[in-house]
Structure formats: structure tokens, C-alpha cells
Amino acid sequence: MITRRSFIKTTTLASAGLLVKSAYAAKGKGYIGLQLYTVRDAMQQDAAGTLAKVAQIGFNSVEGATYTGSQKFYGMDAKTFAAALKQNGLIIPSAHYRLGQEKTNGTDTKGTILHEWDKAVDDAAAAGIKHMVCAYLSAEERGNLDHYKKLADEFNKAAATCKKAGIQFCYHNHDFEFEAQDGELPYDILLNNTDKDLVKMELDLYWVAKAGKDAVTLFNQHPGRFPLWHVKDMDNTPEKAFTEVGNGTIDFKNIFAHAKTSGMKYFFVEQDRCPGSPFDSITKSIAYIKGNLV
């Protein structure tokens, strides 16, 4: 029997779900993305076939992860890569890049922020990329707070070059940026010492949670600063390992309800390590996202 109380409870829960979905829809434009690092081995073996499989699973956007060294996208020049994406109905709003302070076999790595960035920006524009993201700082590229201030200056310069090509520069976090030094967080140094319009953030929701921080608090402190998200879950074990979206402990419904505050435009599923086939994992993740978040 449906009582007045149970009816109100049911409709209230349904309304909450609609609010989560509409908050994303206002910014996300219906795109569900995949960071191609998740299927990196398959991309290396058969990029075209892998893109087709990703699209078949239901993703309609991707984020690149390989532009260094060869200055190609998965072995393809910018125009060839763009054509392969278009053939599969995919867009590439974003791609990852490295700082380039760390050398490769003793030589500078091209196509990085510090080495031949102009060409990287030109190729990104040719491929249709709208966000160029500093993906990671290796151990030797990190340092004290003064070093992070210098990195902020480098990011401002790189972002100014991006802006000339109509591209937004962003920075992608892990958890080390939230380890305090002299009472301050490197992440705050990067946020506060970069131009808020030139340098945006790609917030990795897993690493923020693993660092013991709250994504929504960051959104409220820096509204509009987070146009990109990495959506990956954390399992309920002492290891806090990667797991499929919806299979772990992160409250994605609450986070997605604050998409507008964050400034989110695109998000990308990423699972650095999968228990079996990454295609099985991303199929589970997208099913949860479609059923609960968008």
C-alpha cells in the first residue's frame, strides 16, 4: 500500500536524482568521455579499432594521453587522428601533456610545456583539442613551495600560448599536491599563483578523495575553475584501489550536483588499473553513469 508518507519520500528521492542530472546537463552537453590511458595497451596495438570499440560501448568523447617524443597522437599526425575520431563519432575536448623537465634517455622531451610547446599547441588545434592539460609531475619535477611558484609562472606562460590558439590550459592533480609543506599545500600555490582565467584545473576526483580532501569544498572555494573532471572510483579496502565508477566509496551524485559551481564542461572516466579487461571495466562505469548521473 502506498501511503502519503511513502509517496512523498519516493517523489523527493526522484526529484533529487533529476537535480543531479540537470546540474550536469546544464554544463556537460551530454558528453561522456574516456581518458584513453585506460585502454592504453589496446590503443598501442590498434588505435582505430580501439576507438571504434570505445564508441560502441557508448562514449562520445575521449581525452588523449600520448603526445610526447614523437609529437604524434597514437602514431598519427593531428589531421589523421582527427579523421579517425570523426569516423567513430568521437570528439576530443582535451589531451594530456607533460612538463618536460624530466629528460628521456638523457635528452629533452619534445612536445612538452618546456620543449617545443608552440608545435604542441599547433598540433592540438589541428586535432580539434580545446583543453591542453599538464598531466603529471614526476618526482624530480616536484619540489618546495618556491619551486611550485616557479611552475605556476611556467603554466601562465604556456597558457598564454594556448589562448592565442583558442585553447584552454589546465592542470591535472594527483594526491602529492595536497601534502602540506610549511603549513601550505602545493595545490593552493598553483591555484593562487596562476591566472584564474588562463589556468584552469582538471580535478581528478579519486586523487582528491585519496588525499582526504573534498571536491565540493574546492568548487565552492574556487567556483568556475574546474572545467574538466576525471571520474574514477575508490574501492572500500585498506589499499583504496581504483575501481569502476559506482563500485566504490566516492559520492558522485553529490559531486555531480555541484557541476555548475565547478564550471565543469567535460568529464572523463579513467581507471588506471583494471582487474581484467579494461573494456569490461569501462562498460560497467558507463552503465552506472548513464543510470545515475547523466
CATH number at residue 9: 3.20.20.150
Question: What whole-number distance in Å separates Cα of residue 159 and Cα of residue 161?
Answer: 5
- Is the Cβ–Cβ distance between 35 and 274 less than 8 Å? no
Confidence of residue 216 (pLDDT cuts 50, 70, 90): very high
Number of domains in the chain: 1
Does residue 230 register a pLDDT over 90?
yes
Residue 29 pLDDT: 58
Does residue 14 register a pLDDT over 90?
no
| Structure-block grid coordinates of residue 94 | 582535451
Residue 267 pLDDT: 98
**Beta bridge mates, 33:** 61, 268
Each residue's pLDDT tens digit, 169-215:
999 999 999 999 999 999 999 999 999 999 999 999 999 999 999 99
Alpha helices in 46-132 (DSSP H): 47-57, 78-87, 117-127
Does residue 23 register a pLDDT over 50?
no
- Is the Cβ–Cβ distance between 223 and 260 less than 8 Å? no
Average pLDDT, the chain: 92
Cα–Cα distances (Å) from 163 to 77, 121, 158, 239, 282, in that order, read 22, 10, 9, 40, 33
| Rounded (5°) CA angle 212-217-220 | 160
Confidence of residue 1 (pLDDT cuts 50, 70, 90): very low
Does residue 96 register a pLDDT over 60?
yes
Each residue's pLDDT tens digit, 118-174:
999 999 999 999 999 999 999 999 999 999 999 999 999 999 999 999 999 999 999
Which residues have a Cβ under 8 Å from the Cβ of 56 and sit 6 or more positions away?
A: none
Domain hosting 278: range is: 4-292
Residue 69 pLDDT: 86
Write down the pTM of the prediction.
0.91
Which residues have a Cβ under 8 Å from the Cβ of 108 and sit 6 or more positions away?
A: 100, 114, 115
Place of cell 591542453: 132
Q: Where is average pLDDT lowest: 27-41, 76-90, 161-175, 209-223?
A: 27-41
**Which is nearest to 37 in space by CA: 88, 94, 80, 121?**
94
Question: What whole-number distance in Å separates Cα of residue 235 and Cα of residue 232?
Answer: 10
Question: What whole-number distance in Å separates Cα of residue 196 and Cα of residue 200?
Answer: 6
Mean pLDDT of 257-282: 98
Share of the chain above pLDDT 90, in %: 89
